[in-house]
Structures are given as structure tokens and as C-alpha cells.
Structure 1
């Protein structure tokens, strides 16, 4: 089998039993290696966290020639692989045998992309992974004024057209997803226990063109203006 370790915090040290030099993988990096008794690793308890994937070696093993492959966990290829792995983990119990085979095929294709540092974004079976990886990026960049389909496509190393085509199979476009997620953040801000921000402040922070545009979008999604929604969340006076 091949093991993929993505180091999220701290660092992991790896070495072959017969090698003197230890290989240290810091946070933000990954290592792909053959598993087996010749490998050992050392890590300080409670100081490091990783994501681990175990993959069949048949189609992928020859690409690393018994040597470990290292790279950035922020690479487009690794983003797609991890997004797809999370989807499989969440939905495995609901997959039919055919669905499980398709998910496995896509997982191997994406692992191949990590090893070769390129992914065929036009491959239809990879569309769900593209969508999930894009949504993961959106979640981390909602307040970023640069967030756009173009920025997402650049981060995933695909064309804007490919990104739009992947979202075409979902119930919303890329732009609509960004807008809906930003609106949800404003709704949560209006229901929080802390002092509620003003409408203009919310519009500015979550990158709406102006206050009136924000109010119209909020009312269309939630059926009330932000001010009306905030009042509806107030605890009744006793």
C-alpha cells in the first residue's frame, strides 16, 4: 500500500530502518511513501496532527520508485485529493456498489495527480471533487475581496470554464454559492449573543457592492430585511 501523510501541525520525522538520515516533514507539507516494516517514524505526543490516506499500490507505486514523494499540502492537486477523500468518508454508507467503484476510481486519479503534479480537470468523474475543493476554498476566503471564480480556478489550477462546468451539476453556480455563504455569515452575525453589527458594516465586511445591494440580497434569501430579521431574533421582554 501507499500511505499519504499530510502534516497539519508540528512535524513528523520519517526514516528507513537502514538509513541514517531522518526525513522531517513540517506542517503544511505531505509525504507519500510505501508502507512496510522498513519505515519508522517519530513524533512528539500531542504536538502534531496529520491526515492519513492509505491507497493501493498497484497503479501508483511505480511512480515513486520506492522513494518518498514530498510536496505542499496547499497544492491544487492535494486540495482536490483531500476534498474527495472527505466526501467519500461522509457518504460511504450511502454509496451503491457502482458509486463506490466510481469514487475509488476518482480517488486513484486524484492521487495520481498528486504524484505527477497535474490533474485532468475535464475528467467528468472529478467534477464533485472540484466542487468540494472550491467550496472549501470559499469557506476560508469569504471576507477576501479577491474571492471570485477566477481566483478559485487559479488556486485549483484549472480553467474558469472547467470550474463553471463542474458546478453546473449542482443546484447553484459558483457566484451564487459565494453569495449564499456570505449571506449566511451575515445572518449568523445578526443572531449572535454579542453586539450586532450595523447593516453597512456587514455589507462592507462581507464584500457586498453597497448596503442596498446587500439588503435586497438578504431579503431575497431570507424573506426579511437584515433589520427585520435582527428584530425577530430579539428575546421578548418580560
Structure 2
């Protein structure tokens, strides 16, 4: 378990736990209660789940919002008769596996499969089950600001929806920044989480809202990272996938002191540099192969860009690290 920034006023709390390596259900439950608290109580689990609880969990609490990343190696299932009131909105973003939710209002079930999301208001506790190897990001959100937008609707769709991409990107940034957040920072990230959750409920977001610029940038970076070797990668492609204008995307990057084109070029150069550090015994790629793979016009253009970035040509860089590597 790793406490990474709980504040005395309870505004923040976080922990990471891998029960496939150490501990078990009891360790998980103690960590959750200590670092996340009673505002986000855990349900009652089935005896089979408790007996074989193999899960990797990362949780960040920001005031009345909880961000939960979970990879369940084993299956999980709740048990007993749920009681009480939860009065929360939950967003499930499924990366792998499946998560099935019961609905006490209509006694039906909703299964969220890999590549899909589900957003709904939860008034009363309900059962859920997951299959082994399920990976998901779950956001628990305050009902006061989101229930009026949702009512009894259950909103579903692909995780690639622009507003979901932005919310997931921002939530991931929150995890990374937890330890360094000031009270003003807590307010900023919390407000953005709520605004982006509203955007998911509305299925659209205000792309000129300055508060959303960091989330737009991070979502664009995440998307660019999966497309770096694609010759079609460009600001226009990223803007289209995020459902914003190119101008909005460029303005968002400018707000954090970058440009879209420069970011793509720097990431490609970094990947090329890493390729030059291949361990001894692995085949080494040539400068011309690197230039072609990372979409530089030719070897000369790649070499000039590499030297400007790292102070050495690719050949000089590879030679300089070879003695230490070999």
C-alpha cells in the first residue's frame, strides 16, 4: 500500500495495492478505509471473492470524487442484500473483460463490455459481478451536480468518444499529480473532473472552455502516442478524433507552452533515441530505417533534427552509449 498525499482535511487520499503479490482482501479493505474513507464504502463481497481476491488497484480521492483503476485477475461478485442509500453518479470505462451491474429499479442487468462506458445515477446499492482479467476505470461522482442532467437515464457508448477521452486523460493526470497538489490545485482538478463528467452526460463539451485545455492536451498526447508511426498523424487528425477544431487544439497546447507539431516531432525523436539503446545482441536499426519508420522526410532531415534535440547525431549517440551498454 502506498499513501501518496492524503491531506489533513480529508480532501485528498490515495493508495495503490497489488493483492496478487501481497496481502489479500483484508489488506485491501483496510487500505481503502484508511486512505479513501467512509464516503466511498465498499460493498459486501461473496465468500468466493474474499477467498480468492487477486486485484491490482489504484485509487485517488479528490474531495467528493473517487477515481478507481482496477485490474481484477480473479472474478469479483457482491453478496447479501444491499441496504442504505448511495446517492452517487458512477462512470465505468471498460478496457478489458466485462462488468455486470444489477439495477434495483427495474430488476434488470447492464453488462459493460471492453471498449464501452456506462454512466448512471446510483440511488440505492446494487450488486455487480466481474469476469477474470477485467480492467476498468471507475469514477464515483457527486449526485448533486450530475443527477439533474441524468435523471434515470443510463448513458452508454464507446470509450473513444471525445468527452470520455478527455475525462479519462484528466483523471490519469490527477493520479500523477496527487502528491504535488496545492489547495488551489485540488479545486482546479476537481472542477475539471465535474465539468468533464457533465460533458459525458450531455455527450458534448465546451471546446473553448479554458479550464479544459490541460485535459484536451493530455487526451491529444495519449492519442498521439498510439499513432506515432502513422504517416497520417497530424494536428488535424488529433483534432478530428477529439471532436475539436485544429485551432482549439493548438490553443490548448499553447496554453501549456507547447505546439502540437513540436510535440509529435519530439516524441518520434525520443522513440528513435530509445531504439538506438537496444541491448547488446539485439539487431540495431540503421539511421535510414529509423528516419523512415518515424516519418522523417529522409535521413538527413532526421539526423539534423536528432542533433538539434540531443546534441549528437544518431550515429554519434549510438557510439557514445555502446561501451557502457556492451
Query: TM-score normalized by structure 2?
Result: 0.70
Shift of 1:69: 1.4
Q: Is residue 2:239 matched to residue 1:153?
A: yes
Structure 2 distance, partners of 1:237, 1:98, is 45
1:181-213: CA deviation from partner (whole Å, max 9, x where unpaired): 000000000001121101111111111111111
Larger RCO (CA under 8 A, 6+ residues apart): 1
- Contact 1:190 1:230 survives alignment (8 Å): yes
* Structure 1 residue corresponding to 2:298, chosen from 201, 206, 210: 210
Query: How far did 1:169 drift?
Result: 2.2
Deviates more, 1:14-23 or 1:25-34: 14-23
Q: Any conservation in 2 of the 1:18–1:38 contact (CA below 8 Å)?
A: no
CA distance in 1: counterparts of 2:151 and 2:313, whole angstroms: 60
Deviation at 1:36, TM superposition (A): 4.5
Q: Quick one: distance in 2 between partners of 1:25 and 1:173?
A: 37
Task: Give the RMSD, CA atoms, in angstroms.
Answer: 1.7
- Which SS does the other structure have where 2:255 is aligned? coil
Shift of the 237–51 alpha-carbon distance from structure 1 to 2, 3 Å rule, reads closer
Which of 243, 254, 257 in structure 2 is aligned with 1:171?
Answer: 257
Relative to total residues, which structure has the larger strand share, 1 or 2? 2
TM-superposed deviation, 1:92: 2.5
Q: Please tell me whether the aligned partners of residues 216 and 252 of structure 2 are also in contact (alpha carbons under 8 angstroms).
A: yes
- Picking from 214, 222, 225, the partner of 1:139 is 225
Q: Deviations over 1:55-92 (max 9, x none)?
A: 11111112221232111111110000011111122213
Matches within 5 A, 1:1-238: 1-17=88-104, 19-44=106-131, 46-193=132-279, 194-235=282-323
How many residues are aligned here?
237
Structure having the larger proportion of residues in helix: 1
Say whether the 8 Å CA contact 1:33–1:69 is kept in structure 2: yes
- Which of 174-183 and 3-12 deviates more? 3-12
Kindly indicate whether the alpha-carbon contact (under 8 Å) linking 1:106 and 1:126 is maintained by their aligned counterparts in 2: yes
Partner of 2:62: none
User: How far did residue 38 of structure 1 move?
Assistant: 4.2
Q: Which runs of no fewer than 5 residues in structure 1 stay unpaired? A: none
**What are the Cα deviations for residues 78-109 of structure 1, in whole angstroms up to 9, with x where unaligned?**
00001111112221332222221122111111
Normalising by structure 1, we get a TM-score of 0.94
C-alpha contact (below 8 Å) 2:214/2:256 kept by paired residues: no
**CA distance, structure 2, for counterparts of residue 236 and residue 69 of structure 1:** 55
